[in-house]
Amino acid sequence: MTTDIKATLRAQRIETPSWAYGNSGTRFKVFAQKGVPRDPYEKLADAAQVHAHTGAAPTVALHIPWDAVDDYADLARHAREHGVAIGAINSNVFQDDDYMLGSVTNPDPRVRRKALGHLLECVDVMDATGSDTLKLWFSDGLNYPGQDDLRARQDRLAEALSAVYERLGDGQRFLLEYKLFEPAFYATDVPDWGTAYAHCLRLGPKAQVVVDTGHHAPGTNIEFIVAFLLREGRLGGFDFNSRFYADDDLMVGAADPFQLFRIMHEVVRGGGLDPRTGVAFMLDQCHNIEPKIPGQIRSVMNVQEATAKALLVDAAALRAAQDAGDVLGANAVLMDAYNTDVRPLLAELREESGLDPDPMAAYARSGYSDKIAAERVGGTQAGWGA
């Protein structure tokens, strides 16, 4: 059994986001750190460090226009030279003044055309970088009742999604993200997984839902959503992060590691670790006060630990207890797996892969942090919006 678990863990891939390596913070303050990347090339170099020490993060998501360059093929080449590759392309239709009343759902046709043009441009970036995934998130929504027509906005959204869907090439897909609230506080145009699922269902198999673990109301059973979407073949991936009150974008597993385990249990149960399902395990985090690269390393490790525990669940014993109506016995099977210390297993796995068993300590010893702090002097550090 241990051999099978190791093989599955060895095959797992966790994508890191380019924006996690730049300066970020809350709406009150963005804190600058030494050695922060100044351009997408330096972001990829930092992401390569995460992969070098974990062996599990070979792709990096880009955010356009934050990561815009003149030559995307050259950026992809640069990534390969550092041992990583370009992952999902994330669109941005929420930081332009034109989008104050929405992007693809805006009542102004000119603004809608502009937003759609950007989304189609992101597919061009996919073509140039070899990416197969476009991630769509819309801040569109309303602050006040009567501000706009709720149904008409859904019509506009569907029209834009259809145009993007038709532009996708062979082997490409888009993932539609949802968010309960913020920055719209009365009604968000894609507020929940059901809305995202309904739009994707109408379009076809190239449209799937992405589950951001921070984008739900308190108490939401996220693992149910995961189980349902997996069952329907519509779970495209995750944006892993943690939150305590709202969308905090903290390190995954920081707030509720048991929830992360429960989610990964449903992924295992539904076959989501099989690469053929296409489920993407992506991080979506903005490290506010913690160091950027170690924060990403820790998050990758947290996902690995939750996955390892989920793989330890005795499926036969669990099914037997469930079939017998043994409520406490079934729960105990899950708790036994969750309470298992899987760190020695993962350390052993890393050593077998030629890696240091402790990625955090290995990075600290590498001297890379001091190196980039000394070299990256001058210029404009990357951050939210750059």
Share of the chain above pLDDT 70, in %: 99
Q: Band of the pLDDT at 31, cuts 50, 70, 90? A: confident
Q: Band of the pLDDT at 385, cuts 50, 70, 90? A: low
143 Cβ partners below 8 Å, 6+ apart? 184, 185, 186
**Looking up tokens 């036994």, which residue turns up?**
336
Q: What is the pLDDT of residues 141-157, one digit of tens each?
A: 999 999 999 999 999 99
Q: Among residues 239, 260, 263, 261, which one has the least CA distance to residue 249?
A: 239
C-alpha 239: how far from its chain's center? 3
**Angstrom distance (rounded) from CA 239 to CA 247:** 12
Q: What is the pLDDT of residues 221-235, one digit of tens each?
A: 999 999 999 999 999
Residue 153: in which H helix or E strand, if any?
A: helix 150-167
Q: Among residues 336, 304, 224, 374, which one has the least CA distance to residue 14?
A: 304
Amino acid, res. 353: S
Task: Provide the pLDDT for residue 289.
Answer: 87
Tell me the mean pLDDT in the region 59-86.
98
C-alpha 317: how far from its chain's center? 32
Q: Are strands 24-25 and 30-31 parallel, antiparallel or unpaired?
A: antiparallel
Q: What is the pLDDT of residues 9-20, one digit of tens each?
A: 999 999 999 999
Record the pTM: 0.96
- Residue 158 pLDDT exceeds 70: yes
Task: Provide the pLDDT for residue 261.
Answer: 98
Whether 16 contacts 86, CB under 8 Å: no
Q: Where are the domains of the chain?
A: 2-375
Whether 125 contacts 131, CB under 8 Å: yes
Q: What is the pLDDT of residues 195-220, one digit of tens each?
A: 999 999 999 999 999 999 999 999 99
Q: Among 23-27, 163-167, 191-195, 285-289, whose mean pLDDT is lowest? A: 23-27
| Mean pLDDT taken over the chain | 96
State whether the Cα torsion 277-215-91-88 is positive or negative.
Answer: negative
Residue 93 per-residue DSSP state: -
Q: Among 25-34, 55-64, 269-278, whose mean pLDDT is lowest? A: 25-34
- Residue 3 pLDDT exceeds 90: no
Q: Among residues 176, 166, 164, 187, which one has the least CA distance to residue 229?
A: 176
| Residue 159 CA: distances (Å) to CA of 154, 165, 194 | 9, 10, 18
**Looking up tokens 């729960």, which residue turns up?**
331
Contacts of residues 171-174 at CB distance under 8 Å and 24 or more positions apart, as own/partner, are: 171/132, 172/123, 172/126, 172/131, 172/132, 172/133, 172/134, 172/206, 173/132, 173/133, 173/134, 173/205, 173/206, 173/207, 173/208, 173/236, 173/278, 174/133, 174/134, 174/135, 174/136, 174/206, 174/207, 174/208
Tell me the mean pLDDT in the region 281-287.
90
State whether the Cα torsion 385-243-20-11 is positive or negative.
Answer: negative
Q: What is the pLDDT of residues 96-110, one digit of tens each?
A: 999 999 999 999 999
- Residue 41 pLDDT exceeds 90: yes
Is domain 2-375 annotated with CATH 3.20.20.150?
yes
- Residue 386 pLDDT exceeds 80: no
How many C-beta atoms surround the C-beta of residue 347 within 10 A? 15
